[in-house]
Amino acid sequence: MRRKIFVAGVFFFCLFAQMFAQQAKTVLFLMPFYTSSYDESALFNAKTGKELSNIPSFQMMGFWGGAQLALQEYEDQNIPLEVVVRDITNDEAKLRRILEDRDLMSRVDLIIAPLFSKPFQLAAQYAKEYQIPIVNPFTSRDDILEGNEYVYKLTPSHEANPATLAFMTDNMPSHQIILYCDSIKKNAEYHVYRSYFDANKIPYHTVSSIQGVLNLMRSDMHNVLVVLHQGEAVSLTLSQRLLYSGKKVDPDHLLMVVPETWITSNTYDVEYYDKLNLHFFSDYYVDFESEQVQLFTYKYTQRFNTLPTLKSFAFQGYDVTRYFIELIRHDLDQDEVKVTPLSYYFSFDKHPNGGYENVNVQFLQVLDNTILPATY
């Protein structure tokens, strides 16, 4: 009899422990859908996908679509989640009413908030009060981290770029780094590179003219040319001068780091991609040849009758939702999260007296007119 009571006790204890372990996590999405200002005529008048994405109500639909596919995976695995979605605009009073709902906020475990700066900062204040992790997928501003250990910033700051470049060049043989910018005094990105290189005793050259670049180019070593000049005209002029200067300038002697806008520009000549060994930093990268991405694309297309894209934030919506739900399910221990994102590389460093910043920037190269992760 005692044995039966003991076995029954163990059974109910295990059952209770399992139920406790499976207790539903609550995720609050603060989404800028602008349903109150929905313009049906603009929807019917839109002739292209770009025009459609310019309608405020549709700008985050791709993000939400990706998030729904991530949530579906938990449903398929019978992992309990409570999902709460609130439409957020620039109406601060409306946002406060949502965040002052103590019944809601007391049970929320995670806030995902792809919002503009001011609404996000307000939401982050309440997240701090309730000790809820809150995620901002898109801003690169560091000030959202100050004094708030519950904020997660996914877009790396510019400081990650020189650190990544230095790591890559460590594997090169003899090389020199050339920083080219139009205005040394006014170029903020230049000062980020200079500060990092000076602090880490990394030698570099600074030039402010195309002729200065040409004068420094050498054929007996790798030339790592970092272009910190956003001008569209400069992209073509510099590329032409490098190729036709009469100096030995080829991919074996040049690694050219350019603004991402050069790669996405319709005016930049694709013949320069391989000839100049173009590289660039980006917030996202998707390997469309991978089975994981192809499966996601198939599911997304089947469900929403449109292809997922980076510009619509579909991949980002999936990654953010999947990764951070796993993070809260593992008590915010990054090492326990086994998710492989589709578009991000996640690695978070905690700011002193502040939140967490993703420091893993994407460093990409153009090879045979294909964008790939840079390797050396």
The dihedrals phi and psi of 293, each to the nearest 5 degrees, come to -70, -40
What pLDDT shows up at residue 247? 64
Domain contains 231: yes
278-282 vs 254-257, strand pairing mode: parallel
Tell me: do 48 and 126 sit in the same domain.
yes
Do 167 and 151 share a structural domain? no
The CA distance from 194 to 129, in Å, is: 38
Nearest one of 248, 224, 207 to 173, comparing CA atoms: 224
Name the helix (H) or strand (E) containing 125: helix 117-130
Structure confidence at residue 171 (pLDDT): 82
Domain match, 151 and 14 both: yes
Residue 302 confidence (pLDDT)? 97
Lookup: tokens for 112: 């995902």
User: How many other C-beta atoms can be found within 10 angstroms of the C-beta atom of residue 94?
Assistant: 15
pLDDT of residue 367: 85
Is 236 in the same domain as 183?
yes
What is the Cα–Cα distance from 22 to 181, expressed in whole angstroms? 55
- 152 and 112 assigned to the same domain: yes
Token pair in block for residue 312:
């619509």
- Give the burial class of 50: count Cβ atoms within 10 A of its Cβ; 0-12 exposed, 13-18 middle, 19 or more buried: exposed
Does residue 320 sit in the same domain as residue 221?
A: no
- Report the alpha-carbon distance of residue 218 to residue 247 in Å, rounded: 8
359 in a structural domain = no
| pTM as predicted | 0.85
Contacts of 120 by beta carbon, 8 Å cutoff, 6+ apart: 113, 136, 139, 144
Q: How is residue 7 annotated by DSSP?
A: H
Q: State which residues form the domain around 48.
A: 2-156+289-344
Q: Are residues 142 and 13 in the same domain?
A: yes
User: Is 323 within a domain?
Assistant: yes
* Same-domain check for residues 241 and 194: yes
Q: Residue 198 CB: number of other CB atoms within 10 A?
A: 10
Based on the fold, state whether residues 26 and 151 are members of the same structural domain: yes
Residue type, 116: F
Does a structural domain hold residue 197?
A: yes
Distances (CA, A) of 204 to 34, 196, 197, 259: 48, 11, 8, 19
Residues facing 364 on adjacent strands: 280, 373
| Other C-beta atoms lying within 10 Å of the C-beta of residue 275 | 16
Number of domains in the chain: 2
Is 112 inside a domain boundary?
A: yes
Residue 329 pLDDT: 97
- ∠ CA 270-273-278, rounded to 5°: 145
DSSP string computed for 34-58 = -GGG--HHHHHH--SHHHHHTSGGG
Task: Tell which residue, 276, 273, 208, has the closest CA to residue 244.
Answer: 276
Residues 144, 208 share a domain: no
Which two tokens mark 139?
A: 């801003």
Task: Tell me if 233 is assigned to some domain.
Answer: yes
Do 24 and 137 lie in a common domain? Answer: yes
Supply the pLDDT for residue 6: 43
Residue 358 belongs to some domain of the structure: no
Three-state DSSP class for 27? strand
pLDDT per residue over 63-104, tens digit each?
Answer: 999 999 999 999 999 999 999 999 988 789 999 999 999 999
Q: Is 16 in the same domain as 131?
A: yes
- Whether residue 355 lies inside any domain: the answer is no
At position 162, the amino acid (one-letter code) is: P
80 CB contacts (<8 Å, ≥6 apart)? 22, 23, 24, 25
Residue 45 pLDDT? 44
Residue whose tokens read 């003991």: 6
Contact of 214 with 242, CB cutoff 8 Å: yes
Assign residue 240 the CATH number of its domain. Answer: 3.40.50.2300
Cα–Cα dist 272/232, whole Å = 14
**CA-CA distances (angstroms) from residue 177 to 217, 219, 225?**
10, 14, 6
**Ordered per-residue pLDDT tens for the chain, 376 residues:** 545 444 444 444 444 444 444 578 999 999 988 544 444 444 444 444 454 455 444 578 899 999 999 999 999 999 999 999 999 887 899 999 999 999 999 999 999 999 888 899 999 999 999 999 999 998 888 899 999 999 999 999 888 999 999 998 988 889 999 999 987 777 889 999 999 999 999 999 999 998 999 999 988 889 999 999 767 778 888 888 888 876 666 677 889 999 998 887 766 677 777 788 899 999 999 999 999 999 999 999 999 999 999 989 999 999 999 999 999 999 999 999 999 999 999 999 999 989 999 999 999 998 888 899 998 6
